[in-house]
Amino acid sequence: MTDRKKMLAEMTRRRMLLGSTGLAVAAGMLPAKLFAQDPIAVAGIYTVPVEQQWVSRIHVAAEAAAEQGLITYTFSENTANTDYPRVMREYAEQGVQLIIGEIFGVEQEAREVVLDYPDTAFLMGSSFLPDPDYPNLAVFDNYIQDASYLSGIIAGAMSESGKIGMVGGFPIPEVNRLMNAFMAGVQEVKPEAEFQVSFIGSWFDPPKAKETAFAMIESGVDLLYAERFGVSDAAQEKGILAIGNVIDTQADYPDTVVASALWDFGPTLAAAIAKVSDGSFEADNYGLYSFMKEGGCSLAPLGTFEGKIPQDALDMVAAKQAAIKDGSFEVTIDDSEPASS
């Protein structure tokens, strides 16, 4: 089977699996000359509400860039995968210069659109690496395994039983790598830890995630990894702890969410804006801008859990974080599906 056929087959598999279903851009990240230029027209296309964890990071970063006058920004949310290519075409026909979004469920169809609009830059969340056959399509993903690993160290220190429940959306690379990194962090502190892993088959179904978490709590877990909305609600109601993902929800769960691995889409968007501005945008992997050393991810402040986490765990987090940032330690990127112990 050729590489292209393999890729198309994998696209079909992912589409069947998925069904039809950043923070502020720092001014210092961008060349000064951008501020003197006309704003770039940007459109976002999202398959879920902009409040959803993953998409919210893109949306917040774009809004921040718009407030700075770097871009004009419009967006479409709750776009079904069946409608996604049509919406891409509509924005391209309107003269939008940069289209951002997520094509995990429409990989093949999106690439067909990209070829029809060679003068439009597309920056899309994707499970695949950049392909020179689609020179105006750059890809990204939330490679926040660094922060997920560090949150796992904290989780291992805070779990008394070592029994941890993990609720995810779909078992695809962008979810798997975060879960695997979290588990590796836990095992730094509790090598004997046991994990229950479950996927709800949706990117946004808080009731189902909550129900799944309840079942895990009933089976004895004392800490939950909240990759989806709804999990922290279950933890709060049952009086156990949770670790957040992508955004900081501690303000909503002050006695529940101990730590969170945060994603900042700002560096990713800043790089794309700069390249569209100077005409150098091309097929590239923007996932690297999510790494901790690039400023794309971090641990949330301890907040209400300040002083409640064992100091030896915090010392380990600090040492590992410093090593990640200086390049002397790399968190393993493991995209394989995590399994229960």
Helix (H) and strand (E) counts in the chain: 10, 11
Which residues, including other chains, have CB under 8 Å from residue 95's CB and lie 6 or more apart? 41
**Tokens 């004895």, residue?**
220
Give the pLDDT confidence of 120-157 residue by residue, as tens digits. 999 999 989 999 999 999 999 889 999 999 999 999 99
Phi-psi bin for 308: left (phi > 0), alpha (psi -120 to 50), beta? alpha
Which residues, including other chains, have CB under 8 Å from residue 256's CB and lie 6 or more apart? 232, 235, 236, 240, 241, 242
Q: For helices 145-158 and 173-189, give the axis angle rounded to 10 degrees.
A: 40
Residue 124's Cα: distance from chain center in Å?
12
Q: How far apart are CA 223 and CA 186, in angstroms?
A: 11
Q: Which two tokens stand for residue 5?
A: 């056929």
Give the pLDDT confidence of 63-118 residue by residue, as tens digits. 999 999 999 999 999 999 999 999 999 999 999 999 999 999 999 999 999 999 99
Q: How far apart are CA 125 and CA 101, in angstroms?
A: 6
pLDDT for the residue numbered 237: 97
**Tokens 């097929």, residue?**
283
pLDDT for the residue numbered 28: 43
Give the pLDDT confidence of 208-227 residue by residue, as tens digits. 999 999 999 999 999 999 99
In degrees and rounded to multiples of 5, residue 246 shows phi and psi of 75, -45
Q: How far apart are CA 102 and CA 21, in angstroms?
A: 12
Q: Would you say residue 22 has pLDDT above 80?
A: no
Instruction: Provide the 10 A C-beta neighbour count for residue 272.
Output: 25
Q: Would you say residue 33 has pLDDT above 50?
A: no
Establish how many alpha carbons lie within 13 A of residue 178's alpha carbon, considering only the half-sphere containing its beta carbon.
Answer: 32
Residues written for the chain: 341
Q: In a 3-state reduction of DSSP, which class is residue 173? A: helix
